[in-house]
A and B are shown apart, each in its own frame.
Chain A
Amino acid sequence: MSPAELLDLLGRDFMQRALLAALLTGLAAPAIGTFIVQRRLALLGDGIGHVAVTGVALGLLTGTSPTWTAVVVAILGAVLIEVIREKGHTNGDVALALLFYGGLAGGVLITGLAGDGAAGLQVYLFGSVTSISSTEVWYTAGLALVVLTVTLGLLPQLFAVASDPEFAKVAGLRVRAYNLLVAVLAAVSVTVAMRTVGLLLVSALMVVPVATSQQLARSFRSTLLWAMVLGGVAAVGGLVVAAWLSARATVAPGPSIVLLALAMFAATWPVGVWARRRRRLAEPFPALGTGTPGPHEVDEHPHQHGDDCGHPAVPHDDHLDYVHDGHRHAPHGEHYDEH
């Protein structure tokens, strides 16, 4: 496809709608994704995506808008995942897996009952540009704005809860409510991303831009903002690539968006490794002497150091040192020298 043809395609109405939806998705998904990565729940979005498949199928079966049934089912699934995670302690991941597979299997089965078959579901699993109607773009925009407003507005609280729930609880924050809020926002952004990236790849847009931006960022806030920028670029760029390739073959936008985001990660990763290494090398050795006490009297130590005193012995030139309270003792007349 020539550049002129591509420009012509990008100028079309349906493409403009898709670009707007992609941009909002690319901004909202990494914003909530940063908190999910902070809580080490990178696969939560994936789980919610699987559950949402059932929601889409219910929409197809009943003839209502799949966006709204997906929102409802995804929120229910996210709340259920969060409750299981909170109650189940160590084995939460097994319960989550049960839910994921149940969601996917239920979705495929119900779609079959609806008579649409796999093709009907395909649009929602991997995204589709052409199928987005203008009302759906407005839904997407509205939901994305809700996600962005709540995440950025409550950033200090959500950060405190995500980084140290126990401290947050003692500080009087409602940890459970905030955790549920993050789960619900994640569910909403999954459904927001459904039309562009698709349910099976949605988690990538929540996690990969965050992984990329944390290669270079040092603070939580800058990680979040850069992840949003990278997410927006990947979503819009991936959509354009998919449109450009569509002259030759049918390409869903989901895979191209995710591959572009991964390419950005691959490009920044070596830079991040190099920067961290440089920072470590630049770090000075800790100043000695501040905490090391001088020689002290033997009578501070009620026993004679020896083979059985319990203090590890370390050979040092012509004598033995004994490790004691983080420093080494060498018996020297009436006192111990610090070695």
Chain B
Amino acid sequence: MLNPAGTAVVEARDVTVALGGRPVLRGNDLVVRHGEFVALMGANGSGKSTLVRALTGLRPLTQGSVLLFGTPLQDFKERHRIGFVPQRGTAAGGVPSSVREVVASGRLTRRPLLRPAGKADRAAIDDALEVVGLTGMASEGVSTLSGGQQQRVLIARALAGEPELFFLDEPTAGVDLPNQLALAGALRTLSERGATIVLVAHELGPLEPLVDRAVVMRDGRIAYDGPPLAHEDVHGHHHPIAGSHDHVPHVGSPFDTMSLDPREDRR
């Protein structure tokens, strides 16, 4: 739901991010209020993923500030209130791990060190698996699942911590239609439970009816912020080629770091 009078859950002011000296985000303001379902859209390289990474603290800001639930990001300790779903491809590591183990790692935001999982933890993990429709596959190896199912595992992992605010980075990219529908169903459940959702998407597909606010990025700036637009208005008619892209040329010497920007080093 659009919630113009609600409390601000995310408050970003003048958010600027430079990668390797190149500005990727330039002075963006964004306020997301409680219960909203916001889609960050735009072409490849427009900065939409970087904006989400800046809001979650994965990218240091060159300038500006981010408040989560009214607390500056660097002082924000209530990590169980946010759930993050990174871009796909990280669900499986070098060692087999079961769906349940991956989902359980999302519960760590609410589990103190060295305390074994309790009843509430197990119930939350079961509930998360049920919301994404993977209850019967809890003991399967993650690497044996399809891409779309792996994406649902990652959403369940974010869900296991019972957060109020979700950040999803391209959850539907490269996912087949049945899995996109399952994802949309899970996100609808979350939204109905009152969660605030910020989602990066290239194309909305089955998510379209859920979105109540679209933010369109172009060249690192927010170009549009308002009710959702038709796909053609955002992109024109074209068919994007899936794949990742680099913002910065790769490093040439072993001891070089990525932060060539002196302003980034100061932080």
Chain A positions within 8 Å of B, measured between CB atoms, are 34, 37-40, 42, 84, 87-92, 94-95, 98, 153-154, 156-157, 159-160, 162-164, 166-173, 210, 214, 217-221, 223, 279-280, 283, 286-287, 290-292, 302, 310, 325-327
Q: Which has the most chain A C-beta neighbours within 10 Å: B95, B139, B179, B257? A: B95
Contacts of B118 in A (CB 8 A): none
Closest CB in chain B relative to A227 CB, distance in Å? 9
CB neighbours (8 Å) of A95 from chain B are 254-255
Chain A residues touching B, majority SS: helix
The answer, among A84, A171, A290, for a CB contact under 8 Å with B84, is A171
Contact present for A91 and B181 (CB under 8 Å): no
Q: Given B86, B95, B114, B258, which contacts A220 in the complex, CB threshold below 8 Å?
A: B95
Tell me which of B3-11, B39-47, B97-105 binds A: B97-105
How many angstroms from the CA of A149 to the CA of B64 in the assembled complex?
43
Q: Which of A172, A219, A292 contacts B139 (CB 8 A)?
A: A219
Contact B108 A171, beta carbon cutoff 8 Å: yes
Chain A neighbourhood of B106, CB < 8 A? 167, 171
Which residue of chain B has the shortest Cβ distance to A173 in the bound complex?
B108
Find out whether the CB atom of A88 lies under 8 angstroms from the CB atom of B79. no
Q: Tell me if A88 and B251 are in contact (CB < 8 A).
A: yes
Asked if B141 lies at the interface with its beta carbon under 8 angstroms from chain A, I say yes
Contact (Cβ within 8 A) B257 A88? yes
Return chain A residues, CB-CB under 8 Å to B255: 84, 87-88, 95
Chain B window 245-263, contacts with chain A (Cβ cutoff 8 Å), 1 for yes, 0 for no = 0000011111111100000
Number of B residues contacting the other chain (C-beta, 8 Å)?
58
The CA of A280 and the CA of B139, in the complex, are separated in Å by: 15
Task: Check A157 against B96 for contact (C-beta < 8 Å).
Answer: no
CB–CB B90/A91 < 8 A: no
The residue that A40 contacts in the complex, of B93, B108, B146, B256, with Cβ under 8 A, is: B93
Given A160-B108, A170-B82, do A214 and B95 touch, yes or no (CB 8 Å)? yes
Top 7 nearest A-B pairs (CB, nearest first) are A172-B79, A291-B178, A95-B254, A219-B98, A160-B105, A170-B84, A220-B97
Once the chains bind, are A217 and B96 in contact (CB under 8 Å)? Answer: yes
- Write out, one digit per residue, whether chain B residues 224-251 have a CB within 8 A of any chain A CB (1) or not (0): 0000000010000111000000000011
**Are A38 and B108 also in contact (CB < 8 A) when A91-B254, A170-B57, A290-B181 are?**
no
The answer on a CB contact under 8 Å between A219 and B101 is: yes
Q: Given the complex, which residues of B lie within 8 Å of A169, measured CB to CB?
A: 57-58
* Complex Cα gap A327–B180 (Å): 14
Extra contacts, 8 of them, besides A163-B105, A167-B106 (Cβ < 8 A), are A37-B94, A91-B253, A156-B111, A167-B157, A218-B139, A223-B96, A280-B144, A290-B178
Which of A90, A221, A326 sits near B101, CB closer than 8 Å? A221
CB distance from A294 to the nearest CB of B (A): 13
Q: In this complex, what residue of B is CB-closest to A93?
A: B254
B96 touches A219 (CB 8 A): yes
Q: In whole angstroms, how far apart are the Cα atoms of A159 and B144 in the complex? A: 19
Residues of chain B within 8 A of A89, CB atoms compared: 250-251, 257-258
Complex Cα distance, B257 from A91, in Å, reads: 10
Interface flag for B28 (CB, 8 Å): no
By a CB distance below 8 angstroms, the chain A residues around B158 are 167
Q: Which residue of A lies closest to B116 (CB)?
A: A156
Bound complex: CA of A173 vs CA of B97, how far in Å?
20
Q: Does B205 contact A (CB under 8 A)?
A: yes
Q: How many angstroms between the C-alpha atoms of A34 and B94 in the bound complex?
A: 9
Question: Do A291 and B94 touch (CB < 8 A)?
Answer: no
**A120 CB, min distance to chain B CBs, angstroms:** 33
Known A-B contacts A170-B58, A171-B106, A219-B141; A163 and B79 likewise in contact (beta carbons under 8 Å): no
- Some 14 contacts from A to B, beta carbons below 8 A apart, are A88-B251, A88-B256, A164-B86, A164-B91, A166-B86, A166-B90, A167-B106, A168-B108, A210-B95, A220-B101, A221-B101, A286-B146, A287-B178, A325-B205
Q: Is the CB of A219 within 8 A of B97?
A: yes
Residues of B within 8 A of A214 (CB): 95-96
Does B109 lie at the interface of the complex (its beta carbon under 8 Å from any beta carbon of A)? yes
B130 within 8 A of A: no
CA distance A218 to B141 in the complex (A): 5
Residues of A within 8 A of B95 (CB): 34, 37-38, 210, 214, 220, 223
Decide yes or no: A172 and B253 within 8 Å by CB, A156-B111, A291-B180 being known contacts. Answer: no
Q: Specify which chain A residues have a CB less than 8 angstroms from the CB of B176 in the assembled complex.
A: 291, 326
Counting CB contacts under 8 A, is B113 at the interface?
yes
Closest to B250 in A: A90
A171 touches B109 (CB 8 A): yes
Question: 1/0 contact trace for B149-161 toward A, CB 8 Å?
Answer: 0000010011001
Return A34 CB to nearest CB of chain B, in Å: 6
| Complex CA distance for A218 and B100, rounded to whole angstroms | 11
A310 CB, nearest partner CB in chain B, Å: 6
